[in-house]
């Protein structure tokens, strides 16, 4: 991103003009600089391009869809940043063990939260993302991301759309003139084809694929496609070539061994099994299933046991078990072969896989075993030791609705929900809210938890288009809790549900009821919070004018309360509540109505951070301006630097320089400025093309520092040097 070629006036720096630049300009190789600058371009915080509307900012799903849409239409100048961000959306973060336990791809979380009504919108975005992926610089990542995107298409629309995407990508790869890149792309795409069970869909292109890959390193993926399309002889010949090409002493891919078993080559499989590794995760799970299908019980036992060896945990074990079941493994092992893992607490793996096992038994026409698996799940659930709602919802997504519903009905028949929290989300999904409502209203000796459950139940009824029941539940919530009116807040959220579904009249009736109840609350602090809750709900519903009127009412009542220097003021609490829901404009207006004496406990720093997160640089700028008078010098400098970076990332260097100048003016007044605050400022000046100022700052503040470890100084010099070369 080209930021700055013109000259800006240098602010006054009381420093010497003779600088030891010969020490600074160590010759940094062009290759090193290219890698450094490419890495920096990968971490440009370009989104949001413009301030998010509050209706998007306050809706987690809407914000994620907006971000994906922005990625899909982003310019080529952001290729490296888009490549990294799409990797986070589509590709899982590895799970190497403590302290990093890995993370699923962001798309997985979005699909879990995505309402059915918004699936067409996400599908349309996928169509655009597929085109954007084709423009990324890395050929291998293009292919890997296309394969992952095909998997998500499969979840949303089934096999046909996923197969179409993969066939199109394969056709493009076959036409590529980059021989090495073409081979890598085809290999990744074939991996996806096999994993998604779509081998038969690409049969028409197999002759061309075969011709292209014949001149390269033998492809295990192609061999697996042959096996899946009943071309056993070709599969075996290619598998032997893959095995021969694997250097002695190197770990053999578990999928190669499973392929030999699929081709009834037990001796070859056992030969190479000695060089397999449990660290293969999903392939190792498929290998365990392959030994089961081959009726090699002893070997299958070993593979299954080894799958839980060492420090493997979390995502790795989930992949192992999920792949095992998907590949046709024996569900019986989930009752006899799962260990109890101890680490941070005790992990009972069996509970997560009882319903999947029951579903697998049903598909194998083994009803008695399916019933036993469900009964065991019900027994565990009745003890209160399961994440019941999560497990039942997961069962729906995995195609095991029948098993989940049966387990729910058995728990209901056993009166288990008298002691165990009812699964409200699942009950809403299967239209069974009436069955659990009596339990929710009586459950939980913890008043706060009971309020949370009642709120969830009321909102669930609203989503089922049952306003009378939603209102009735909300009205049973106590209207007075410490500094908060949960009943009013719940009514307002119920109104928002109806507003978002297009039922404006119904929404306005419920909003009016909430306002009426608020006006009759005697406690001023609770009344102020009740109006603030309604204001937040109006914003979520897109009723901006009503939101502002109600916010003003909330602030008026909050300001009427006496102040206590030992307690956070009510206006500041209301401001923070707006920030907690990403309503930064309402928070900023509220801050402006607070007296300057109240700024000390107002969350101006949080306001800056939230405004930056939502792309509202105007409010962030005004809040940082306030920080210069009311925050500590360190906090002002830190947030001024953050704002400067946001300006630079959006190609607004003039504004960035002004913020950096203000930060340096503050640091100049300190006897010993904090080095950790100076380093990002130097980097930002260099990034903006102000190499002269960056080096002046280094000479004045950083070179005098003596330390046993000055590697940070060398890295900084290299960074500045590389940016100087970039602007030559």
Q: What is the pLDDT of residues 89-108, one digit of tens each?
A: 999 876 554 444 567 899 99
Query: Which residue would you say has higher pLDDT here, 332 or 611?
Result: 611
| pLDDT attached to residue 20 | 38
Q: Examine the pLDDT at 444 and tell me if it is beyond 80.
A: no
Would you say the C-alpha torsion 394, 98, 40, 12 has a positive or negative sign? positive
Neighbour-count burial of 627, counting CB atoms closer than 10 A to its CB (0-12 exposed, 13-18 middle, 19+ buried): buried
- Percent above pLDDT 90 for the chain: 70
Q: What is the mean pLDDT of residues 678-685?
A: 95
Q: Examine the pLDDT at 1 and tell me if it is beyond 90.
A: no
Distance between CA 258 and CA 372 in Å, rounded? Answer: 30
Q: How confident is the model at residue 252 (pLDDT cuts 50, 70, 90)?
A: very high
- Percent above pLDDT 70 for the chain: 90
Tell me the pLDDT tens digit for each residue of 411-441.
Answer: 999 999 998 999 999 999 999 999 999 998 8
- Kindly report which listed range (10-14, 218-222, 702-706) carries the lowest average pLDDT score: 10-14
| pLDDT attached to residue 471 | 95
Q: What is the mean pLDDT of residues 144-163?
A: 96
State phi, psi for 7 to the nearest 5 degrees: -95, 140
Contacts of 599-603 with C-beta under 8 Å, sequence gap 24+, read 599/626, 599/630, 600/630, 601/568, 601/569, 601/572, 602/571, 602/572, 602/575, 603/572, 603/575, 603/576, 603/579
Distance between CA 622 and CA 655 in Å, rounded? Answer: 13
| pLDDT attached to residue 31 | 87
Q: Examine the pLDDT at 14 and tell me if it is beyond 70.
A: no
| pLDDT attached to residue 713 | 83
CB of 440 within 8 A of CB of 460? no
Tell me the pLDDT tens digit for each residue of 117-127.
Answer: 899 999 999 99
Q: What is the mean pLDDT of residues 502-512?
A: 96
Q: What is the mean pLDDT of residues 613-635?
A: 93
Tell me, rounded to whole angstroms, the distance of Cα 159 from its chain centroid.
25
| pLDDT attached to residue 175 | 93
Q: How confident is the model at residue 223 (pLDDT cuts 50, 70, 90)?
A: very high
| pLDDT attached to residue 443 | 74
Q: What is the mean pLDDT of residues 449-454?
A: 88
Q: What is the mean pLDDT of residues 329-339?
A: 79
Distance between CA 434 and CA 461 in Å, rounded? Answer: 9
Q: Examine the pLDDT at 167 and tell me if it is beyond 50.
A: yes
- Kindly report which listed range (272-286, 303-317, 664-678) carries the lowest average pLDDT score: 303-317
Rounded to the nearest 5 percent, the helix, strand and coil shares of the chain are 70, 0, 25
Tell me the pLDDT tens digit for each residue of 508-560.
Answer: 999 999 999 999 988 899 999 999 999 999 999 999 999 999 999 999 999 99
Distance between CA 229 and CA 198 in Å, rounded? Answer: 10
| pLDDT attached to residue 601 | 63
| pLDDT attached to residue 26 | 45
Residues 6+ apart with CB under 8 A from 670: 633
Q: Examine the pLDDT at 7 and tell me if it is beyond 70.
A: no
Name residue 97's beta-bridge partners: 100
| pLDDT attached to residue 261 | 97
Q: Examine the pLDDT at 599 and tell me if it is beyond 50.
A: yes
Q: Examine the pLDDT at 672 and tell me if it is beyond 90.
A: no
Region of 365 on the Ramachandran plot (φ > 0 left; ψ -120 to 50 alpha; else beta): left
Q: Examine the pLDDT at 705 and tell me if it is beyond 90.
A: no
Q: What is the mean pLDDT of residues 480-509?
A: 87
| pLDDT attached to residue 43 | 93
Question: Mutual orientation of helices 447-463 and 486-500 as an angle, nearest 10°?
Answer: 20
The closest of 685, 689, 727 to 13, measured between CA atoms, is 685
Q: What is the mean pLDDT of residues 341-350?
A: 50
The helix/strand count (H/E) of the chain reads as 40, 2
| pLDDT attached to residue 339 | 64
Q: What is the mean pLDDT of residues 24-37?
A: 75
Q: What is the DSSP string of 331-345?
A: TTHHHHSPPEEEESE
Question: What does the mean pLDDT of the chain come to?
Answer: 88
Q: Would you give the DSSP letter of residue 346?
A: E
Q: Examine the pLDDT at 353 and tell me if it is beyond 50.
A: yes
Distance between CA 95 and CA 102 in Å, rounded? Answer: 4
Distance between CA 509 and CA 325 in Å, rounded? Answer: 51
């Amino acid at each position: 991103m080209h930021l700055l070629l013109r000259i800006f006036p240098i602010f006054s720096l009381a420093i010497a003009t003779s600088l030891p630049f010969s020490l600074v300009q160590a010759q940094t190789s062009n290759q090193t600089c290219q890698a450094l600058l490419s890495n920096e371009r990968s971490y440009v915080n370009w989104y949001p391009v413009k301030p998010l509307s509050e209706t998007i900012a306050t809706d987690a799903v809407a914000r994620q869809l907006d971000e994906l849409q922005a990625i899909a239409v982003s310019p080529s100048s952001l290729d490296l940043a888009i490549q990294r961000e799409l990797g986070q959306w589509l590709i899982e973060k590895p799970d190497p063990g403590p302290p990093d336990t890995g993370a699923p791809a962001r798309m997985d979380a979005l699909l879990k939260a995505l309402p059915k009504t918004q699936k067409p919108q996400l599908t349309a975005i996928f169509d655009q993302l597929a085109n954007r992926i084709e423009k990324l610089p890395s050929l291998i990542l293009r292919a890997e991301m296309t394969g992952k995107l095909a998997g998500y298409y499969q979840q949303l629309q089934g096999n046909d759309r996923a197969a179409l995407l993969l066939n199109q990508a394969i056709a493009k790869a076959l036409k590529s003139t980059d021989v090495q890149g073409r081979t890598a792309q085809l290999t990744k795409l074939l991996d996806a084809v096999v994993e998604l069970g779509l081998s038969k869909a690409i049969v028409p292109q197999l002759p061309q694929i075969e011709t292209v890959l014949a001149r390269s390193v033998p492809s295990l993926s192609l061999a697996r496609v042959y096996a899946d399309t009943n071309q056993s002889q070709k599969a075996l010949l290619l598998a032997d070539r893959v095995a021969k090409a694997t250097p002695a002493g190197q770990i053999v891919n578990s999928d190669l061994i499973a392929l030999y078993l699929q081709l009834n080559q037990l001796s070859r499989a056992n030969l190479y099994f000695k060089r397999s590794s449990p660290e293969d995760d999903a392939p190792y799970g498929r290998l365990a299933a392959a030994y089961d299908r081959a009726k090699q019980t002893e070997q299958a036992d070993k593979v299954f046991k080894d799958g839980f060896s060492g420090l493997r945990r979390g995502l790795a074990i989930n992949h192992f078990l999920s792949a095992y079941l998907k590949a046709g493994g024996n569900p019986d092992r989930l009752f006899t072969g799962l260990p109890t893992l101890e680490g941070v607490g005790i992990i009972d793996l069996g509970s997560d896989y009882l319903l999947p096992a029951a579903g697998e038994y049903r598909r194998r026409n083994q009803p008695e075993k399916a019933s036993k698996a469900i009964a065991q799940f019900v027994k565990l659930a009745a003890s209160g030791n399961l994440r019941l709602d999560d497990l039942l919802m997961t069962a729906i997504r995995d195609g095991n609705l029948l098993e989940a519903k049966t387990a729910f009905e058995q728990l209901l028949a056993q009166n288990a929900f008298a002691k165990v929290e009812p699964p409200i989300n699942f009950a809403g999904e299967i239209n069974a809210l009436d069955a659990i409502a009596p339990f929710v209203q009586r459950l939980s000796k913890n008043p706060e938890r009971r309020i949370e459950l009642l709120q969830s139940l009321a909102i669930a009824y609203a989503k089922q288009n049952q306003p009378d029941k939603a209102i009735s539940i909300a009205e049973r919530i106590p209207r007075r809790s410490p500094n908060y009116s949960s009943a009013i807040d719940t009514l307002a959220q119920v109104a928002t549900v109806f507003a978002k579904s297009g039922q404006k009249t119904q929404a306005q009736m419920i909003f009016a009821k909430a306002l009426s109840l608020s006006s009759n609350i005697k406690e001023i602090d609770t009344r102020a919070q009740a109006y603030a809750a309604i204001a937040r709900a109006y914003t979520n519903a897109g009723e901006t004018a009503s939101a502002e009127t109600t916010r003003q009412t909330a602030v008026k009542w909050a300001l009427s309360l006496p102040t206590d220097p030992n307690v956070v003021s009510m206006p500041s609490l209301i401001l923070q509540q707006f920030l907690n829901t990403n309503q930064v404009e309402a928070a900023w207006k509220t801050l402006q109505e607070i007296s300057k004496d109240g700024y000390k406990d107002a969350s101006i720093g949080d306001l800056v951070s939230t405004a930056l997160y939502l792309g509202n640089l105007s409010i962030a700028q005004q809040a940082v301006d306030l920080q210069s008078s009311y925050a500590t010098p360190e906090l002002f400098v830190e947030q001024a630097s953050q704002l400067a970076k946001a300006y630079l990332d959006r190609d607004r260097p003039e504004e960035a320089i002004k913020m950096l100048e203000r930060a340096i003016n503050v640091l100049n007044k300190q006897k010993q400025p904090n080095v950790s605050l100076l380093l990002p400022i130097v980097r930002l000046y260099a990034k903006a093309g102000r190499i002269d100022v960056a080096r002046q700052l280094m000479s004045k503040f950083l070179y005098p520092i003596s330390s046993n470890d000055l590697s940070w100084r060398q890295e900084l010099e290299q960074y500045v040097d590389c940016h100087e070369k970039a602007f030559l």
